[in-house]
Amino acid sequence: MSDAIRLIGLPGSGKTRFKNAFHAAFPEAVVDEVSAEAASSAQAQRTWCVIDVRSPVQDAEAQAWLKAMLQTATGIVFSFVETADMTMQAKWQAWLKSACPDALPRYRWFSHAALGDWNWRQFDVPDQVCSVDFAVPSLDTFRFDFDSGSLHLEHLLFGLDTMKQNLGARLWRVQGVVMTSEYQNPVAIEGQIDRWDTYAGVLDGSGYLCLQGENLQRALLQEIIDASRLS
């Protein structure tokens, strides 16, 4: 039986966090993140769909994308469980009943807890993954680096939200660490298709911001960032 595992999930669902934690606990296993369009395979294997259960996925396209990925999965990993209330977790369980007629095994991952006691080889059964007829969004990625200076966080998030609401841009993933006027320490920014999260970050060098989505224009993104800069 293969120890290879493939992780799928919406952008920002916690795949990289889980991959790093899993690899630290089980270095003998091979864990790879794959895109939904690359999920089909001719050989039996484990494919785990990572789902952020802190809030519902309200975007219609994101829901359709997630349902398509679940058709290729052999198991489900709930991420960010420690910050998701029980009501929201129950809503996800109910949603999965309608999205997955064939129940998949589920694992509730607490990021602060060790994975070493998990008998993951008994979690699911490797299976051949079939292709799914779903048009995966074509995402562009842009990265901006900040050698010095601070940003006004509120202005930055407002500008990105305005771009989404008024200009047809779809931000599937935002990730970065920047210095801001509102806080003395670095701020980490995490964005998904329908949520924002900010928290204390760590900077080993320059600040940066990575944005992934559809209908994005680098020039417009640069304007939003420049308008958020503090002289």
Nearest to 51, CA basis, from 113, 115, 118, 107: 107
In sign, the C-alpha dihedral spanning 14, 15, 16, 18 is: positive
Report the C-alpha gap between 28 and 140 in whole angstroms.
33
Report the number of distinct structural domains present in the chain.
2
Cβ 192 vs Cβ 10: under 8 Å: yes
What is the reported pLDDT for 126? Answer: 79
**Which of 128, 153, 180 is where one domain is finished?**
128
Q: Which residues contact 101 (CB under 8 A, 6 or more apart)?
A: none
Domain containing 11: what range? 4-128
The answer to the question of residue 134 being in a domain is no
Nearest to 12, CA basis, from 57, 44, 71: 57
- Do 119 and 167 lie in one domain? The reply is no
Largest distance between two CA atoms of the chain = 59
What is the reported pLDDT for 1? Answer: 45
- Do 108 and 153 lie in one domain? The reply is no
- Do 32 and 115 lie in one domain? The reply is yes
SS3 at position 162 = helix
Report the C-alpha gap between 150 and 207 in whole angstroms.
9
What is the reported pLDDT for 206? Answer: 86
CATH code of residue 190: 3.30.1220.10
Helices (H), 100-187: 153-167
What is the reported pLDDT for 128? Answer: 67
SS3 at position 226 = helix
Quickly tell me which residue has 């901006």 as its tokens: 144
What is the reported pLDDT for 211? Answer: 96
Report the C-alpha gap between 188 and 198 in whole angstroms.
6
Report the C-alpha gap between 190 and 175 in whole angstroms.
5
What is the reported pLDDT for 4? Answer: 84
SS3 at position 5 = strand
- Give me the tens of pLDDT residue by residue for the chain, a chain 231 residues long: 456 899 999 999 999 999 999 999 999 888 988 865 555 554 568 899 999 999 999 999 999 999 988 988 899 999 999 999 999 999 999 999 988 867 899 999 998 877 888 999 899 887 766 666 677 788 999 999 987 778 999 999 999 999 988 888 999 999 999 999 999 999 999 999 999 999 999 988 889 999 999 999 999 999 999 999 875
51's tokens = 């789902």
What is the reported pLDDT for 18? Answer: 95
- Do 12 and 123 lie in one domain? The reply is yes
- Do 18 and 120 lie in one domain? The reply is yes
What is the reported pLDDT for 103? Answer: 84
